[in-house]
Amino acid sequence: MAQNYDVVILGGGTGGYVAAIRSAQLGLKTAIVEKSELGGTCLHRGCIPSKALLRSAEVYSTTKNHAADFGVQTGEVTLDFSRVQQRKQSIVDQLHAGVQGLMKKRQN
């Protein structure tokens, strides 16, 4: 069934979904077309996952190399990479749900 929109946005990344929200706020009938997942590169492969992984690396490095400087005694420090990935994915999933919620809230 054909539908008419004032604005059609191609891509649901950071640029696309923010533009869609603003367009809807301005009262324009807006469609967003996303071929994969809302949130785009930043949420799924870029900013968010990379910072989650960096945080794990930071905690690992501080604990392994500098704990004693802080007066903290540790045993052997090891990295559980599957747990690192799990933490990263749960952050991405939580934010993805948030973006989906924002889009649903504005649905008309």
Ligand X SMILES: Cc1cc2nc3c(=O)[nH]c(=O)nc-3n(C[C@H](O)[C@H](O)[C@H](O)COP(=O)(O)OP(=O)(O)OC[C@H]3O[C@@H](n4cnc5c(N)ncnc54)[C@H](O)[C@@H]3O)c2cc1C
Binding site for ligand X (CB under 6 A): 10-16, 33-36, 40-42, 45-47, 50
Nearer to ligand X, 46 or 106 (CB): 46
C-beta of 50 vs 90, nearer to ligand X: 50
Which residue do the tokens 């367009």 mark?
A: 23
Q: What is the H or E stretch that residue 30 is in?
A: strand 30-33
Burial class (CB in 10 A: 0-12, 13-18, 19+), 72: exposed
Q: At closest approach, how far in Å is the CB of 38 from ligand X?
A: 7
Cβ 74 to ligand X shortest distance, Å: 30
